[in-house]
Structure 1
Amino acid sequence: MIPASYAQRQMWLLDQLEGPTALYNIPLVLRMSGRLDVVALRAALDDVLVRHESLRTRFPQLAGEPYQEILPPDEASVDLTLVPTPADELESAIARASLDVFDLAAEIPLRATLLTPVSGQPPVDRDSLVTGECVLVLVVHHIAADGWSVAPLWRDLSEAYAARCAGREPGWEPLPVQYADYSLWQQELLGEAHDPDSVRAGQLAYWRQALAGAPEELALPVDRPRPATADHDGGLVRLDLPAELHAELAELAARQDVTMFMVWQAAVAVLLSKLGAGEDIPIGSPVAGRTEQELEDLVGFFVNTLVVRTDLSGAPTFAEVLGRVRQAALGALDHQDLPFERLVEELAPVRSVG
């Protein structure tokens, strides 16, 4: 029995807490035109399933703990659903397909819907060829993928589709490892919690010191009270960055020996402080979590969260703030092996469903 990784376990717990929800779906949308070979696409989707074990993994539980049940390739298949859709209803159809709910214990975490045209030139054969404007909607549950996974998923699907259209299997090199290997490696790397010489103990000690006395919540002037239960409603604010300003920021980063990420991290910290959040600004930042080259081509849930704490006391200049952010960010990256979920459990801050 292969245990769920720390990130998978946390996602599973959230799924248990939230109940049936599409909150952690990752929708991937590809618009296509011309002649689409549906048979080849179905075969290519199954090729991707064979290549990436994470996409054919279910999460049953034993004694209240989830584990990875990896289905054999001949027992897992993507059900590509064809939905004839008028052009003026594409956006709503994409939204509906993206909101399908997964049963993590019983289903593989990947679905595929092909929105096909209903007007104009008729399809040659709906079971084999579709012509015109089509939209492929892939929905992956976050327990099986992250943002980095999008590139290898599309790349492998494209290569497999091209191969199947040519009447052959994809000729890619086998992956050196699978996600289950990473899960076991992660447990071995971190070591036992009671071992003072383990990686887990050393990194936990760092984070205890780095976050000692940090505020558990930033006090910001908001336009409404926080609800008793999170409703997950959000908004989108567009920020356009002129090329000239971007060039100046890049020059600033080079002069201060920081990355562009550190510049923006510092800017956000200063902004929050000016809005009333105080002088101690901890900001959670996602990192890819793929610290080994062998993990780069895998579809899986590797992302981790690091807390970058910025000290704005003493009226520092922005250059001084950049120096503080650089030190905090590099320290965080040096101690990124400890999963954020484990850190939260160890530090036990006050938590709320709001």
Structure 2
Amino acid sequence: MLNADIRLPLLAAQREIWFAEQQLGHGNSVYQVGEYLDLRGTFDAQLFEAALRAVVADLDTVHSRFHQESGTDDGTVGQTVDKSRSWTLRMVDLAGAADPQAEAEAWMTAELNRPTDLASGALFHFALLRLGPERHLWYQNYHHIAMDAHGAALVSRRVAEVYTALCEGRDPGPSPFSSLRELADEDAAYRDSPEFHRDRAFWLDQLDSRRPEPSPLIGRTRGGTADFRRATRWLSEDAFEAVRETARTGRVPWPVVVMAAAALHVQRLTGEEKVLLAFPRPTAPESQSAS
């Protein structure tokens, strides 16, 4: 646990989210991220909560408190880690509902639309929704300043590891997650390195005179809203295997192929010669952080 008197700077990705949310104003839920895992079969809720609490205790970023640095007028924001606050794993029993799945999704959507106060609010919420004797949904909700999708996947994997170890009566081993201090030091070291200046020079050159203007697919949108629309389509096994084969041929991860396809789709819809896409970046190294 970090000493509450030790103040650390925001990581690069955290700063972007902080200032973007200040522009949107309080009361928005744009940067709330959530997911659920469908847990089927014999399940020990008490051991699961013990595993979850053990993992959360090792995560610095979800315990951050943000504050304006005193004596500054340039918008400088710092953070401290406060693990003293209690939190609850909510238990929701929907097994008696006419449609437990629909009830669960409605409940989770309502929770996801609740805004977070970055100055004093909790940056994470968990719930265990019981849909039947051998079916539970584990709901995770984070503010994006504390967690991204990749980090959430690492948390889920670690909870599964600890839960399995507890079930088998063995030690789960040391936590794989870095402290916030280590992440801040890595962030600062990169920005002071020759690599950072090379990267910066490269992208300034790429985006200076050759950067295309963004070509939106829809008209101007409001600054923030909790009313999202999404459409889902599933790839067939053959189609997904074609994506993976293309990735193997190009010697890249398969998500790169999907991003390239998205760029081509936008280019065809807009008719522009070049298109500019923006993608979120991890807030910490993949190998050791859940931030």
Mapped contact 1:60–1:106 kept (Cα < 8 A): no
1:144 equivalenced with 2:146 (yes/no):
yes
Between the two proteins, the alignment pairs up a number of residues equal to 274
Match of 1:48 in 2: 55
Provide Cα deviations, 1:141-160, integer angstroms capped at 9, x if missing partner: 21111121123211222233
Distance 1:265 1:227, change over 3 A: closer
Give the TM-score normalised by structure 2.
0.76
Q: Does 1:178 align with 2:174?
A: no
Hey, what does 1:306 align to over in structure 2? none
Aligned AA (1:22): S
Corresponding residue of 2:126 = 112
Match for residue 2 of structure 1?
Answer: 8
User: Contact (CA 8 Å) 2:214, 2:275: kept in 1 or not?
Assistant: no
Shift of the 216–56 alpha-carbon distance from structure 1 to 2, 3 Å rule, reads same
Structure 2 counterpart SS, 1:187: helix
User: In the alignment, what sits opposite 1:206?
Assistant: 202
- Asked if the contact 1:8–1:143 (Cα under 8 Å) also holds between the matched residues in 2, the reply is yes
SS of 1:104's equivalent in the other structure is coil
Q: Take 2:81 and 2:201, find their aligned partners in 1: how far apart are those partners?
A: 35
> Secondary structure in 1 aligned to 2:172?
coil
On the 8 A contact 2:13/2:282 being kept in 1, the answer is no
Note the C-alpha offset of 1:278: 1.6
Equivalence for 1:94: 108
Matched residue type, 2:55: V
Q: Residues of 2 paired with 1:12 and 1:284: CA distance?
A: 18
Which region of structure 1 is more displaced relative to structure 2, 228-237 or 39-48? 228-237
Give the partner amino acid of 1:150: A
Alpha-carbon spacing, 1:259–1:217, altered in 2? closer, same or farther (3 Å): same
Deviates most, 248-257 or 80-89: 248-257
Alignment deviations for residues 190-245 of structure 1 (CA, whole Å, 9 cap, x no partner): 12xxxxx844433222111101231232165x4xx424545465443444545555
1:279 aligns with 2:273: yes
The amino acid that maps onto 1:42 is E
TM-score, with structure 1 as normaliser: 0.64
What is the aligned partner in structure 2 of residue 123 from structure 1?
A: none
- Identical residues among aligned pairs (%): 23
Q: 1:12 to 1:248 in 2, by over 3 A?
A: closer
| 1:17 shift after superposition | 2.8
Distance 1:202-1:276 versus aligned 2 partners, 3 A rule: same
Specify whether residues 144 and 251 from structure 1 end up closer, same or farther in structure 2 by C-alpha distance, changes over 3 A only: closer
Amino acid at match of 1:188: A
For 1:95, give the aligned amino acid.
T
Task: Establish whether residue 66 from structure 1 lines up as the match of residue 73 from structure 2.
Answer: no
How much does 1:3 deviate? 0.8
Is the 2:58–2:177 contact (alpha carbons within 8 Å) kept by the matching residues of 1? Answer: no
**Cα separation, 1, equivalents of 2:21 and 2:259:** 30
Equivalent residues of 1:98, 1:137 under 8 A apart:
no
For 1:1-354, list aligned pairs within 5 A: 1-18=7-24, 19-32=26-39, 36-63=43-70, 64-72=75-83, 75-85=84-94, 86-87=96-97, 88=99, 89-116=103-130, 133-164=135-166, 170-175=171-176, 177-191=178-192, 198-213=194-209, 214-218=211-215, 220=217, 222=218, 225-227=219-221, 229-231=223-225, 233-244=227-238, 260-261=254-255, 263-288=257-282, 295-300=286-291
Contact 2:108–2:139 (8 Å) recurs in 1: yes
Residue type of the alignment partner of 2:13: A
Q: Which has the larger radius of gyration?
A: 1
Cα pair distance change 1:96/1:253, threshold 3 Å:
closer
Give, in angstroms, the shift of residue 81 of structure 1. 2.0
Structure 2 residue runs of 5 or longer lacking an equivalent are 1-6
Relative contact order higher in (CA < 8 Å, ≥ 6 apart)? 2
Q: Deviations over 1:292-334 (max 9, x none)?
A: xxx424210xxxxxxxxxxxxxxxxxxxxxxxxxxxxxxxxxx
